[in-house]
Amino acid sequence: MAEKQLTRADNKDVRIDYGIIFSVLVLAVIGIASIYVAANHDTSTSSITKMILTQAAWYAIGTVAIVIIMQFDAEQLWKLAPIAYGVGIFLLVMVLFLYSRYYFAKTGAKSWFAIGSLTFQPSEVMKPAYIMMLGRVVAQHNSEHIVHTVSDDWKLLFRMFGWTLPIAVLLKLQNDFGTMLVFFAIFGGVVIVSGITWKIIAPIVVAGGVLGTTAISLVIYGRSILEQIGFKTYQFNRIEAWLNPSANTSSTSYQLWQSMKAIGSGKLLGKGFNVSNVYVPVRESDMIFSVIGENYGFIGGCVLIFLYLLLIFQMIQVTFDTKNEFYAYISTGVIMMVLFHVFENIGMSIGLLPLTGIPLPFISQGGSSLIGNMIGIGLIMSMRYHNKSYMFSNSKDFH
């Protein structure tokens, strides 16, 4: 029996989640195919090849990142969290001084480093670093306060906010509101599972809803107030386009209107692979869902959403199996990161949500976002890889 035990402990295959690998692989294939369609109708032949090869290279780098991160167990990730967070903050500060002037002129955001044609957005890799740090803060607090009181919950909330505030300030200085929303989504998800009482959470949720409704109302009736606190013209335009996408289809609503036309033209089954009759700006990245909707229709869109739900279900399953509090908070952060990206990207593509420039995970063109998501997958897979219950896999040979 001891020999069988050792064999199972050494068998790394039972500790690798091939379900997650399969889901990510299918999404990668869909992504490469969709980028090819977008590039094939919008760029030259040489640009198509370069775009596909570049994205494939980023997938390869992301795969290496997953393999490396899988080698770190919970104790090592615990020690690594503040270091990763500190490096992330450093990069967010440096990009304010060394940002790409080209992308700033194009997007209005100081979010990218650029070396030649290679660009890097540090906020994307800051997401997993922030998730690890937030997980450490919550796990450490809960270990020190076995019995929660309202006072303890407020302390935890302020600690979490204290680690979030520098990121929010730096992203505000970068003028990157969309990415800031992702961090708030991660923060909200971890707060919900942290054990903080609903006596605190419920009023905050209500206040957030009232604040959001008030902000939208001010866009219509009191724009000058929002201008005084830093809102930009392009942000007003995006909200106006969302509220009334048919109002200015040749200017401020053009991108959204074209995306809705492309998705609608796909109808139930789509036009078929590489058939595109509706031009959508930036459809290789932010508006990639319009390519899927036009080529594969409503059914194709539903299949894609199902793949994301399957991936999220698999991540949740790993979390429950590992029974590790620190891992649970990391997993929650990764799930919220992926879920919010999917919700916002698809929502903005069909007009349910305002345009924010948030990419579709594992599918949109862009190395920084892909690497950030692959690191998140690596964190999830390290849970099973280092979980002793998987070494023996509850086998009938082990009693």
Q: Per residue in 282-331, pLDDT tens?
A: 899 899 999 999 999 999 999 999 999 999 999 999 888 888 889 999 99
Q: What is the 3-state secondary structure (H, E, C) of the chain?
A: CHHHHHHHHHCHHHHCCHHHHHHHHHHHHHHHHHHHHHHHHHCCHHHHHHHHHHHHHHHHHHHHHHHHHHCCCHHHHHHHHHHHHHHHHHHHHHHHHHCCHHHHHHHCCCCCEEECCEEECHHHHHHHHHHHHHHHHHHHHHHHCCCCCHHHHHHHHHHHHHHHHHHHHHHHHHCCHHHHHHHHHHHHHHHHHCCCCHHHHHHHHHHHHHHHHHHHHHHHHCHHHHHHCCCCHHHHHHHHHHHCCCCCCCCCCHHHHHHHHHHHHCCCCCCCCCCCCCCCCCCCCCCHHHHHHHHHHHHHHHHHHHHHHHHHHHHHHHHHHHCCHHHHHHHHHHHHHHHHHHHHHHHHHCCCCCCCCCCCCCCCCCHHHHHHHHHHHHHHHHHHHCCHHHHHCCCCCCC
- pLDDT on residue 117: 74
- pLDDT on residue 7: 44
- pLDDT on residue 124: 93
| Average pLDDT of the chain to the nearest whole number | 87
- pLDDT on residue 52: 92
Measured distance CA(92)–CA(169) in Å, rounded:
10
Measured distance CA(285)–CA(141) in Å, rounded:
39
Q: Is the pLDDT of residue 130 over 70?
A: yes
- pLDDT on residue 43: 73
* Mean pLDDT, rounded, for 95-106: 87
Lowest mean pLDDT among 109-113, 261-265, 376-380: 109-113
Confidence band for 13, pLDDT divided at 50, 70 and 90: low
> Which residues is 113 bridged to in the sheet?
120
Measured distance CA(357)–CA(119) in Å, rounded:
16
- pLDDT on residue 271: 94
- pLDDT on residue 395: 38
Between residues 197 and 228, which one has the greater pLDDT? 197
For the chain, state the CA radius of gyration: 22
Assessment of whether the complete model's pTM goes beyond 0.75: yes
- pLDDT on residue 9: 45
- pLDDT on residue 339: 96
* Mean pLDDT, rounded, for 321-347: 93
Short-list 44, 74, 100, 62, CA closest to 322: 74
Confidence band for 10, pLDDT divided at 50, 70 and 90: low
Q: Is the pLDDT of residue 8 over 50?
A: no
Measured distance CA(150)–CA(70) in Å, rounded:
37
Confidence band for 232, pLDDT divided at 50, 70 and 90: confident
Token pair listed for 385 = 């890889």
Give the burial class of 6: count Cβ atoms within 10 A of its Cβ; 0-12 exposed, 13-18 middle, 19 or more buried.
exposed
* Phi, psi at 245, each rounded to 5°: -65, -20
Token pair listed for 164 = 């979030």
Q: Is the pLDDT of residue 177 over 70?
A: yes
Contacts of 361 (CB under 8 A, 6+ apart): 27, 308, 338, 341, 342, 369, 373
pLDDT digits (tens, 9 = 90+) for 28-62: 999 999 999 998 888 766 688 888 999 999 999 99
Dihedral sign computed on CA atoms, order 85, 194, 306, 176: negative
Measured distance CA(82)–CA(141) in Å, rounded:
15
Q: Is the pLDDT of residue 3 over 50?
A: no
- Per mean pLDDT, which of 90-104, 114-128, 274-288, 335-349 is the most reliable? 335-349
Write down the residue that tokens 């199996």 correspond to: 321
Measured distance CA(308)–CA(343) in Å, rounded:
10
Q: Is the pLDDT of residue 388 over 70?
A: no
Measured distance CA(393)–CA(395) in Å, rounded:
5
End-to-end CA distance of the chain: 9
> Cα–chain-centroid distance for residue 56?
19
Short-list 52, 69, 66, 53, CA closest to 24: 66
The percentage of residues in the chain with a pLDDT greater than 70, rounded to a whole number, is 93
